[in-house]
Amino acid sequence: MKRTGIQNGELIKILATIGHTQTLVISDVGLPVPKGVQCIDLALIAGIPSFVDVLDAVCNEFVFEAGILAEELKEVNVEMYRFLEEKFSDIPLSFVPHETLKALSEDSMVIIRTGETRSYCNIILQAGVNF
């Protein structure tokens, strides 16, 4: 049994097997899951677990080199936009229209669905390397 970090076996397995440049999505409760993309559904009730809680847990276990967010986040969810800009100040973040983000999610290895209900709390993370 793991001592610390993510305890969800399905999630830790996918994090250990994603290769360089492949992507995963951490999503709010409303992001549609494209056919053929694995979904690890962590949503319990509205707001639990939060986007930030899941993002922090994944960031502690996963090496990534870039992120993609919805442009709409900048205006609709300013608080989250500022939080993410600060959190990821050391990696490039791209902003695309939300519809484009949904289309890009079709190429992801997995969508990790949270219970988040705040608008546009979705991020695509591109795997980096640990060496």
98 tagged catalytic? no
Q: Which of 5, 7, 13, 20 is catalytic?
A: 20
SS (H, E, C) the chain: CCCCCCCCHHHHHHHHHCCCCCEEEEECCCCCCCCCCEEEECCCECCECCHHHHHHHHHHHCCEEEEEEECCHHHHCHHHHHHHHHHCCCCCEEEECHHHHHHHHHHCCEEEECCCCCCCCCEEEEECCCC
Catalytic residues: 20
